[in-house]
A and B are shown apart, each in its own frame.
Chain A
Amino acid sequence: MLLRRMYQFGLIYFSGIAFLFLVKYSLGLSDYVIPGPGATWQIAGQVALRYARDVSNTLAVAVVGQFVSLFFAFIVGICGRQATWFGSLIKVAAYNVQAYPIVAIAPILFILLGDGFFTRLLIAAMICYFPLLLSILGIMSEPVIDIEHFYRQTQRMRWQLEVKIRAFENLHKLTTVISGSATLAMAGTIVAEFIAANAGIGYSIRIALYQSDLGKILVALFIIGITVSLYQGLLERIGYVIKAIWGRSQ
């Protein structure tokens, strides 16, 4: 899983780089617009270590933000799974609120809360919260009739059992959704850093952008891609292990 994700990222990244170089040489663009392979390699040597630290910083915020949003998505998803007026209200509210681009609120948060850790965390959590919530609501609202029927007939159905059945039966889907939301959390954190933070890889990209240094941006993209691929692969692996342990226990 880990290797497959990294292969996939490498393929896309190096195809993109090859296309850039093709544009550079076919249009005769200067190194100032698109640096050549040698210059890019040299820049990588200068900034890779610093950028790796920045990406770790960003990833730490993204991971915490993702788990916060995961926690709340499960709470709201479990409450909103029922076909009651409360469940319907939560579903309607979730579908309508998610239609608003959360990233547009980011500047307000920076004005109100400053550009520290908490603001980045909040934006990361908000950006990956709604897609997570919609998926979890969908999974939790969908009855697994062939399994649940017996427990309903014999009056044994409790909300905990209902959630357990639906989570167990959709564990693969949940793992995919959670691993997919890692990209969103990372993107949310980078966007937050890009807008106003004073740390993280988004902040470094913003500086590189002001310097019009495409080489630095390409190096940053490579480290971000590799890190997110590793993290997603790790989440998929954890999902696989949980399923194996859950299936083996008891």
Chain B
Amino acid sequence: MALSCKHINFYYPGTDSLIFKDLSLDIVNPGLHAIFGPSGVGKTSLARLICKELTPSKGLIRTPDINALLYAYNMERLPDWSSIDRHLERITPEHNIARKQALVKHFGLLPVLNQRFGQLSLGQQNRINLARYLVQDFDMLIMDECLANVDEKTREHILLTIKDMFPQLFFVYISHNVAEVAKFCSRIWVLRTPGHHPQTCCIRGRDFKNGQTLDRQAFEKTMLEIMNAS
């Protein structure tokens, strides 16, 4: 068991409106999983609860098989005092240098390595940020809209690369894009507003990988299931 959330209640201090009421979800197998839901439903709050930046008012969150859990989000920045290359060099562990080189190539970052973070487009910034997390040693990575500003084609390529390179690791992908989560994720946890019970609904995604052919009919059915659940 990688992640187990049982009967979570949560509200922000100073407010009395519950964000989560009796929320439960678990992630058992490695791969790309998604948390999906409309804006404001609490996806980021759930991510911050999982990585212990927040504490639930009630319930239990456990990550028994996870030693290193990282949480990345799309608004993150790198300090502008060094070039991208220098930053990556400093934060990459010695044994992950080959991984860094592969990620730089696959994420299309070679042309921007000598630039500063502030000089890059939002899409390039998103890719750099995700790459620096992927060169760390981790068991689970929560990606909170990490590719929000990246174009669709590059985003697909990046997701497929991650699935190819890290088949044994756990990824939780937070996104608003129903087609994307339906196509690439193996489990989609649809988050619903506190009035609904249960507050989460698990849908099986298509878990599309490089070299496979997408079953269009099943894909559309998955999308419909997600939309109906939310």
- Please report which residues of chain A, range 200-250, place their CB below 8 angstroms from some CB of chain B when the two chains form the complex: 246-247, 249-250
| B76 engages A149 (CB within 8 Å) | yes
Chain A residues within an 8 Å CB radius of B91: 150, 154, 156
Interface string of B116-138 (1 = CB under 8 A from A): 10000000000001001100100
- Closest-CB distance, B210 to chain A (whole angstroms): 28
| B77 engages A147 (CB within 8 Å) | yes
- Closest-CB distance, A79 to chain B (whole angstroms): 23
Residue of A nearest to B142 (CB): A153
Chain A residues within an 8 Å CB radius of B76: 146-147, 149-150
Chain B residues within an 8 Å CB radius of A150: 72, 76, 78, 91, 129, 132-133
Interface string of B67-85 (1 = CB under 8 A from A): 0001111011111111100
Asked if B157 CB lies within 8 Å of chain A CBs, one says no
| A247 engages B81 (CB within 8 Å) | yes
Asked if A168 CB lies within 8 Å of chain B CBs, one says yes
Bound form: Cα–Cα A168–B129 in Å: 19
Number of A residues, CB within 8 Å of B: 15
Asked if B62 CB lies within 8 Å of chain A CBs, one says no
Interface string of A155-187 (1 = CB under 8 A from B): 010000000110011000000000000000000
Asked if B197 CB lies within 8 Å of chain A CBs, one says no
Residue of A nearest to B116 (CB): A247
Known: A149-B73, A247-B116, A250-B86. A154 touches B136 (CB 8 A): yes
Known: A153-B70, A153-B71, A154-B91. A246 touches B81 (CB 8 A): yes
B interface, over-half SS: loop
- Closest-CB distance, A245 to chain B (whole angstroms): 10
Chain B residues within an 8 Å CB radius of A246: 81
| B79 engages A147 (CB within 8 Å) | yes
- Please report which residues of chain A, range 36-81, place their CB below 8 angstroms from some CB of chain B when the two chains form the complex: none
| A250 engages B73 (CB within 8 Å) | no
Chain B residues within an 8 Å CB radius of A153: 51, 70-72, 133
- Please report which residues of chain B, range 36-78, place their CB below 8 angstroms from some CB of chain A when the two chains form the complex: 51, 70-73, 75-78
| A154 engages B70 (CB within 8 Å) | yes
Most A CB atoms within 10 A — which of B70, B72, B79? B79
Residue of B nearest to A150 (CB): B76
Interface string of A185-200 (1 = CB under 8 A from B): 0000000000000000
- Closest-CB distance, B69 to chain A (whole angstroms): 9
- Closest-CB distance, B145 to chain A (whole angstroms): 14
| B77 engages A146 (CB within 8 Å) | yes
Bound form: Cα–Cα A165–B77 in Å: 11
Bound form: Cα–Cα A249–B96 in Å: 26
Chain A residues within an 8 Å CB radius of B81: 164, 168, 246-247, 249-250
Bound form: Cα–Cα A154–B68 in Å: 9
Chain A residues within an 8 Å CB radius of B70: 153-154
Chain A residues within an 8 Å CB radius of B78: 147, 150
| B71 engages A165 (CB within 8 Å) | no
- Closest-CB distance, B9 to chain A (whole angstroms): 26
Chain A residues within an 8 Å CB radius of B136: 154
| B79 engages A165 (CB within 8 Å) | yes
Known: A153-B70, A250-B86. A168 touches B75 (CB 8 A): no
Bound form: Cα–Cα A246–B82 in Å: 9
A-B contacts, 21 listed (Cβ < 8 Å): A146-B76, A147-B77, A147-B78, A147-B79, A149-B71, A149-B76, A150-B72, A150-B76, A150-B78, A150-B91, A150-B129, A150-B133, A153-B71, A153-B133, A168-B79, A168-B80, A246-B81, A247-B81, A247-B116, A249-B81, A250-B86
Closest 9 CB pairs of A and B: A250-B82, A146-B77, A147-B77, A153-B70, A146-B76, A146-B75, A154-B136, A246-B81, A147-B79
Which A residues contact B (CB, under 8 angstroms)? 146-147, 149-150, 153-154, 156, 164-165, 168-169, 246-247, 249-250
